[in-house]
């Protein structure tokens, strides 16, 4: 084994490969100043990854959420304990069974994995170039709220859409206060590891519903 390894290393050293200069790889991120184009690209990108998008405004959010919950027959709904749209979430879940994520996961892990139908979260931003949601989990909305339930409902304000990831980091000054755990979501969970057959929900939510809020 050692002889084989030494032989491989010897050939690599003798290859005389020359490093490529950084100027040969110029990153040109997609960008636009048009709010309409920004929204259109975001929707096209995330729906191409099998997410559903519902457009509404702040005033109608509660009713839209309530109708969505009824249409999909979602009964046990995990929710955070804080966030801008908590009043709308409370209105939408008054006739079902909301479960506040206010305990350590070790205290209700089985319930969260086996008995919760959907998790509802806020979003930090959306990246139009790739059709991606950006979540910034914290103690009020832990990351498992979006990663464990079979359905994830994500609430995102249209004003938070940016052209690309670099713009997001610059606009929100991540160099000063970088999130400790940012989550990028571009669709429901999917894998093709098993017999190269694409399956949804193997490692997380099998359904993603994005509610885009005009604010």
Please write the tens of the pLDDT for every residue from 83-99. Answer: 999 999 999 999 999 99
Question: Structure pTM?
Answer: 0.85
For 138-155, the pLDDT digits (tens) are 999 999 999 999 999 999
pLDDT score of 27: 72
User: What's residue 214's pLDDT?
Assistant: 96
Q: What is the 3-state secondary structure (H, E, C) of the chain?
A: CHHHHHHHHHHHHCCCCCCCCHHHCCCCCCCCCCHHHHHHHHHHHHHHCCCEEEEEECCCHHHHHHHHHHHCCCCEEEECCCCCCHHHHHHHCCCCEEEECCCCHHHHHHHHHHHCCEEEEECCEEECCCCEEEECCCCCCCCHHHHCCCEEEEEEEHHHEECCHHHHHHHCCCCCCCCCCCEEECCCCEECCCCCCCEECCCCCCEEEEEEEEC
Q: Which domains does the chain have, with CATH numbers?
A: 34-189+204-214 (3.40.50.10420)
């Amino acid at each position: 084994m050692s002889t084989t390894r030494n032989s491989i290393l010897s050939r690599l050293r003798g290859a005389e490969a020359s490093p490529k200069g950084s100027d040969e790889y110029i990153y040109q991120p997609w960008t636009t100043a048009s709010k309409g184009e920004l929204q259109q690209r975001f929707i096209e990108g995330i729906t191409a990854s099998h997410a559903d998008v519902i457009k509404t405004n702040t005033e109608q959010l509660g009713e839209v959420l309530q109708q969505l919950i009824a249409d999909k027959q979602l009964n046990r709904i995990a929710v955070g304990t804080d966030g801008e749209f908590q009043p709308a979430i409370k209105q939408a879940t008054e006739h079902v069974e909301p479960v506040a994520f206010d305990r350590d996961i070790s205290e209700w892990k089985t319930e969260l994995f086996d008995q919760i139908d959907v998790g509802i979260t806020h979003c930090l931003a959306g990246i139009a170039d790739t059709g991606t949601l950006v979540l910034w989990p914290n103690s009020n909305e832990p990351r498992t709220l979006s990663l464990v339930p079979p359905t994830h409902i994500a609430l995102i304000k249209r004003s938070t859409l940016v052209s690309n990831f670099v713009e997001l980091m610059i606009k929100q000054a991540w160099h000063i206060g970088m999130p400790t755990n940012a989550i990028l979501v571009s669709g429901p969970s999917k894998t093709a590891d098993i017999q190269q057959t694409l399956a949804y929900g193997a490692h997380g939510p099998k359904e993603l519903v994005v509610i885009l809020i005009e604010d």
